[in-house]
Each structure stands twice: as C-alpha cells, then as structure tokens.
C-alpha cells in the first residue's frame, strides 16, 4: 500500500503541475517516476513490475475498445502498409544497431520485437487533445494502431510460449485464436443484441464490461497466455458503437487512475541507463523517433497522402509502445533479458513516449513543412475567375450545388482521398492536398480566383491562407466562434458561421459585384 500511495501522491503532484504550467501530463508522470527512483524510494519486491502489468492490462483494454476493426474498411491497403513496413524496418534497424553494439543475439531480438510498434495509448490521447480523431489522417492512425496491436499481441503470444518449444507455440497460437473468435462473436452478435433488446442502466452495463475484462483475463491466464492478451481481446469485444461510447464515459475516471499508475511506474522502473549503455540508448531512441517517422512519411506520400497528413501521421507513430514493455517483461521473466537490459528497454520506451506530446503538435508540423525540401510550384494552368473551395466539409455538397446552379466555375481542394474520389466521379475539378500549402494554392490558381471559400477543419489553416492571399482575393471563411470571426476579419477575411451562410453570402457578394461586404449577422 505504501508503494501505491507514493505513486498516487506523485501522480497528483504531476497533475497539479500540469494544470499550472500546461505542460503535457505524460512527460510529468514519467518525470515524477524518475524522481521517485532518484531519491531512492524502495518499492516491495515485484510491486513495480506487477503494477506496470496491471496498468498495461487496463489501458490495453480501454485502447482495444477504441479500435473497432470496421474503421479500417475504407483504407485497408494504406493501414496495412503503414503498419507492417515501418515495424519491419524499425525491428531490423534495432537488431542491426544492437548487434553492432555487441549485444547478444537473443536480447537484441527481444529489443527488436519490443520497439517495433507504436503506443496506442499515447497516439489516441494525443489525437483527442488535438481534436483530430475524426480527421482523415487521425482515422488512418487509429487503423494503423489496430493492425499494429494485432501483430504485437501475436508476437507476445509467440515469445511467451517459445521457450517451451515450437509445439507449445502452436498450441498458444491456437488458444489465442479461439479467444479472438469469442471476442469477434461478442463484438458482432451478442453485445449489440444485448444493448438493443435490454434497457440496462449505466451501472449494470459498466459491471458487464468489467466482467468481460476479468473473464477474458482469467481465461488468458488459465490457458497459459499473457494477461494483456485477454485484456486486449476483451476491449475488442466491446469496440463496436455504442458499447465503446458507454465504456469511454463510464470508465473515464478509472482509466485516468491506471493511466497515472502506468506512466509513473514506467518512469520508476526505467530509471536512468548506465553510462556505458548511453550510446545504445541514444541510437535506439533515434531509430524510433527519427527513422520510423521518416519511413512513415515517405510511405504515406507514396500511398497518396498529401504532405501535412503524412507528417502528422508519422509524428504520432514516433514512439515505442506499451505492448513492447510486456514483451520485455516476458523476456525478463524467462531469462532472455537481464535486469539492466530491461531497464534500458524501459528507459527507451519512456523517453520516446515523453517526446511525443511535444513533437506531435501543429507547431512541429508547420516547422517541418517549412523546412522540408519542396518541388517547384506547379503551374496554375488555365484556372482564372473561378470559385476556389478549400475543404469540402460536411456541408460541401450543398454549397457546391448552390454554386453550380448559379453557373459558377468551381475548383475544390481537399486532403481526404474519399472526398476527392467522390468529386472526380462526379466530374468536379479538384485537387488532393493541404489547402494551406502555398504550392497547392498556386496549383489551384488562388491568386486568379474570383473568391476563395475556406471551409477547412482548423481555423489556423484558414489564417495561413489569408496571410498568403494578402487581401488580393476576397476570402470567405467558415468559423465556429465569434472570437475566431474577429481574428479572421482582422486578417482580411469575411467570416461566416456556417457553410449555408457562406454560399448565401457569396451569391449576395457576387451579384453585387463588390469586394466590400460585411459578414452576415
């Protein structure tokens, strides 16, 4: 109990500092764990590793509930490539680096497996904080995490059974497949029917969901599988809406509790690498936070993503994951890793997780976009006197229909491949790309447009467009708050509160043939 009390006190202090300074909470949790280690607080034997495994199990359960397989129906090829190829390249680079550093082959293999994947917990939390879960690249990142977690869970099953021989490994695969089948049946058939045909209270539903967690966990342990495997499959069994929505609300406080337990304990276990292992640690961190994002960016561009979504996706995947820690714990338990080697692995995981909240931000993305090598801007072509729509948006079809009925020449820029495919199928001139990118604006003939309609998801992007246009072309900007409207007006834009108003206001402006118009009330 003393260990739990110390961890929770440290977590409470980290939360208070985060609120006062607005520093992301994950780095503060990890730092408080390091402080506990530095001051020499001694936890009971095996307490830290058991607390870490319990925290991972609950968080993997919650993460599994977020990863509905139906989400990858539209972009399976992209998700598969961005999951498998970076994992293989990362694992190969880790193995090569450790072998060059004279690490024995077996520990190097465990490191390669543990560092191959990214953290679902960190990525989803960062997407939520940035309000990007519904953006195309956000949905793609969730799909990638789902496939990576499946691969890592399978890898975890193999490494846990491999010391007993290949026959034991085959049995372990069969048992985990049976549990997966049960999870799929629950997810597709039983859970939806229970929710549809019964009127259970929130408390009863919460208890049923927790019962699934304990039942799958107990089944996994009884079958000789890691607890985390059962927790992940339990989350998967309730990942279909509305079950996952109920879980998110009801278990928010419990999730925050185990979130704190996990990260503070991780900081405590990781400690600081020994001086003679610092070169190894530095190389592993660079592989995870530099090489993997570079690979993801290049692959995403090859698969057709525009520059900004490719960079944003890569930054969210640039850390090691919680399932990798469990692989390390398995190696520690069977003697494949010794204590210093596991501490090195935990330190690399902790440090890369700590960097993500600082790196996966709009500021970092903008800086990278500004400094990345760029091609020469494409010729704007024959576009002139047209209506340029930047972002199709939820109401784009109604704005587009109104403009077409009034005989306007229209050109659309959007970064969603599904939107572009729909527009191309209907013969509407369009371009896939970031509407705030000066090269994309040049290709869309922004300087020669009659008017620009900014309906992008982020008003910060609209502000960039206004700065690039410098008042040469009238720009009507969709906003959601009056403070945003004032900001857009100061930059020379014409703010409106919704897309319907944007279309109406544009027609009023166009009919009047005047560039001086006020925003509608």
Question: Residue 257 belongs to a domain with what CATH number?
Answer: 1.20.1530.20
Whether residues 349 and 480 fall in one domain = no
Structural domain count of the chain: 2
Beta-strand pair 430-432/475-478: unpaired
Residues belonging to the chain? 521
CA distances for 118 relative to 92, 233, 248, 321, 354, angstroms: 15, 18, 22, 5, 13
Whether residues 445 and 340 fall in one domain = no
Contact partners, residue 465, CB within 8 Å, separation at least 6: 390, 435, 436, 441, 446, 452, 454, 456, 475
CA distance 101 to 364: 32
Whether residues 218 and 293 fall in one domain = yes
pLDDT (0 to 100) of residue 282? 93
Whether residues 421 and 497 fall in one domain = yes
What is the three-state SS of 45-106? CCHHHHHHHHHHHHHHHHHHHHCCHHHHCCCHHHHHHHHHHHHHHHHHHHHHHHHHCCCCHH
Backbone torsion region of residue 305, taken as left when φ is above 0, otherwise alpha when ψ lies between -120 and 50, otherwise beta: beta
Beta-strand pair 451-454/430-432: unpaired
Q: Where among 369, 402, 429 does a domain terminate?
A: 369
Question: Which residues of the chain fall short of a pLDDT of 50?
Answer: 73, 376-380, 499-500, 514-521
Cis check for the bond before 242: say yes or no (omega within 30 of 0).
yes
Question: Could you tell me the two tokens for 444?
Answer: 């869309």
Looking at the domain assignment, is residue 267 inside a domain? Answer: yes
Looking at the domain assignment, is residue 520 inside a domain? Answer: no
Looking at the domain assignment, is residue 422 inside a domain? Answer: yes
Looking at the domain assignment, is residue 356 inside a domain? Answer: yes
CA distances for 89 relative to 93, 137, 359, angstroms: 6, 22, 21
Q: Which strands form 410-414's sheet, in the order they lie side by side?
A: 430-432, 410-414, 387-390, 451-454, 475-478, 494-496
Whether residues 401 and 474 fall in one domain = yes
Whether residues 339 and 194 fall in one domain = yes
Whether residues 426 and 492 fall in one domain = yes
Q: Where among 369, 403, 430 does a domain terminate?
A: 369
CB atoms within 10 A of CB 364: 14
Looking at the domain assignment, is residue 164 inside a domain? Answer: yes
Whether residues 246 and 332 fall in one domain = yes
Q: Where among 324, 339, 369 does a domain terminate?
A: 369
Whether residues 355 and 453 fall in one domain = no
Q: pLDDT tens digits, residue range 238-287?
A: 877 666 666 666 677 777 888 888 888 888 887 777 788 889 999 999 99
pLDDT (0 to 100) of residue 87? 95
CATH number for 412: 3.40.50.720
Whether residues 396 and 441 fall in one domain = yes
Residue 476: helix, strand or coil by DSSP? strand
Q: Tell the residue number behind the tokens 């290949």, with chain if given.
A: 166
Backbone torsion region of residue 511, taken as left when φ is above 0, otherwise alpha when ψ lies between -120 and 50, otherwise beta: alpha
Per the CB < 8 A criterion, the answer to whether 88 and 173 are in contact is no
Whether residues 358 and 478 fall in one domain = no
pLDDT (0 to 100) of residue 79? 86
Range of the domain at 236: 52-369
pTM, rounded to two decimals? 0.78
CA distance 374 to 365: 15
Whether residues 319 and 285 fall in one domain = yes
CA distance 380 to 101: 52
Looking at the domain assignment, is residue 17 inside a domain? Answer: no
CB atoms within 10 A of CB 402: 17
Looking at the domain assignment, is residue 339 inside a domain? Answer: yes
CA distances for 344 relative to 221, 245, 447, 462, angstroms: 28, 37, 54, 44
Looking at the domain assignment, is residue 45 inside a domain? Answer: no
Report the chain's C-alpha Rg in angstroms: 26
């Amino acid at each position: 109990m003393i260990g739990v009390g110390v961890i929770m006190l440290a977590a409470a202090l980290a939360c208070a500092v985060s609120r006062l300074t607005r520093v992301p909470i994950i780095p503060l949790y990890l730092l408080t764990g390091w402080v506990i280690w530095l001051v020499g607080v001694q936890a009971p034997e095996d307490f830290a590793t058991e607390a870490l495994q319990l925290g991972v199990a609950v968080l993997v359960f919650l993460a599994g509930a977020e990863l509905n397989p139906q989400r990858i129906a539209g972009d399976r090829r992209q998700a598969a490539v961005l999951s498998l190829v970076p994992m293989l390249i990362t694992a190969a680079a880790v193995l090569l680096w450790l072998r060059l550093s004279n690490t024995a082959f077996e520990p190097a293999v465990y490191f390669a497996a543990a560092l191959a994947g990214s953290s679902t917990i960190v990525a989803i939390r960062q997407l939520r904080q940035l309000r990007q879960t519904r953006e195309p690249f956000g949905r793609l990142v969730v799909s990638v995490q789902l496939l990576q977690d499946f691969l890592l869970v399978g890898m975890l099953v193999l490494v846990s059974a491999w010391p007993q021989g290949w026959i034991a490994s085959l049995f372990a695969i069969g048992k985990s497949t049976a549990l997966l089948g049960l999870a799929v049946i629950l997810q597709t058939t039983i859970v939806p029917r229970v929710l549809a045909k019964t009127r259970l209270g929130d408390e009863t539903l919460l208890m049923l969901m927790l019962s699934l967690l304990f039942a799958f966990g107990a089944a996994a342990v009884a079958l000789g599988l890691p607890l985390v495997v059962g927790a992940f499959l339990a989350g998967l069994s309730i990942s279909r809406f509305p079950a996952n929505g109920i879980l998110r609300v009801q278990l928010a406080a419990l999730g925050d509790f185990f979130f704190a337990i996990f990260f503070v304990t991780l900081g405590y276990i990781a400690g600081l690498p020994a001086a003679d292992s610092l070169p190894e640690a530095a190389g592993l961190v660079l592989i995870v936070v530099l090489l993997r994002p570079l690979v993801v960016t290049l692959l995403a561009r090859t698969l057709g993503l525009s520059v900004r979504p490719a960079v944003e996706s890569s930054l969210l995947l640039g850390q090691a994951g919680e399932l990798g820690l469990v692989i390390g714990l398995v190696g520690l338990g069977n003697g494949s890793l010794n204590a210093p080697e596991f501490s090195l692995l935990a330190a690399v995981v902790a440090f890369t997780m700590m960097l993500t909240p600082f790196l996966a931000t709009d500021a970092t993305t903008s800086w990278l976009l500004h400094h990345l090598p760029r091609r020469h801007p494409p010729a704007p072509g024959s576009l002139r006197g047209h209506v340029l729509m930047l972002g199709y948006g939820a109401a784009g079809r109604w704005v587009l229909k109104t403009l077409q009925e009034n005989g306007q020449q229209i050109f659309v820029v959007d970064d969603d491949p599904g939107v572009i495919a729909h527009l191309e199928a209907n013969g509407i001139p369009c371009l896939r790309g970031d509407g705030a990118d000066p090269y994309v604006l040049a290709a869309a003939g922004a300087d020669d447009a009659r008017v620009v309609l900014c309906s992008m998801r982020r008003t910060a992007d609209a502000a960039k467009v206004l700065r690039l246009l410098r008042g040469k072309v009238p720009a009507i900007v969709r906003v959601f708050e009056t403070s945003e409207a004032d900001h857009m007006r100061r930059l020379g834009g014409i703010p409106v509160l919704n897309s319907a108003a944007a279309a109406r206001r544009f027609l009023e402006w166009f009919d009047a043939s005047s560039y001086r118009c006020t925003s509608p009330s």
